[in-house]
Amino acid sequence: MIPVPGGVRIWIASGHADMRKGMPGLSLLVQEHFKRDPFAGDVFFFRGRSGSLIKCLWHDGLGTSLYTKRLDRGRFIWPTASDGVISLTTSQASCLLEGIDWRNPQQSWRPKSAG
């Protein structure tokens, strides 16, 4: 996970974005389409059309970073709304990056006995 300091807001851009865009294009998308400041220190997640690739844009006060992650199998869980942004907690963002359904995380394995 990205070492995000406490108090930083994490946003997920609903719908899909053009994954050919880099830092300037995604920053402009945040500024004009979502009406947010891309240089305020918030983290923004974008997903491609296929669902297996996400990009994460973050300005840490010194410069802008662009992280990408591609899943070998499966797809990232994404909201179905076509426009807008949704706020996530740090734990929800961690689930998202692991390919877990961040809207309803469930324990996948539980021991049946202690011994």
pLDDT tens-digit map of 26-81: 999 999 888 899 999 999 999 988 888 999 999 988 999 999 999 888 888 887 76
Q: Where are the domains of the chain?
A: 10-97
For β-strands 10-13 and 85-88, DSSP reports them as: antiparallel
| Cβ–Cβ under 8 Å, residues 58 and 2 | yes
Cβ–Cβ contacts within 10 Å for residue 90, how many?
14
- Helix (H, G, I), strand (E, B), or coil: what is residue 25? helix
The answer, as to whether pTM is greater than 0.85, is no
Q: Rounded mean pLDDT of 87-102?
A: 83
What is the spatial order of strands in the sheet that 10-13 belongs to?
64-70, 53-59, 43-47, 10-13, 85-88
Q: How confident is the model at residue 1 (pLDDT cuts 50, 70, 90)?
A: low
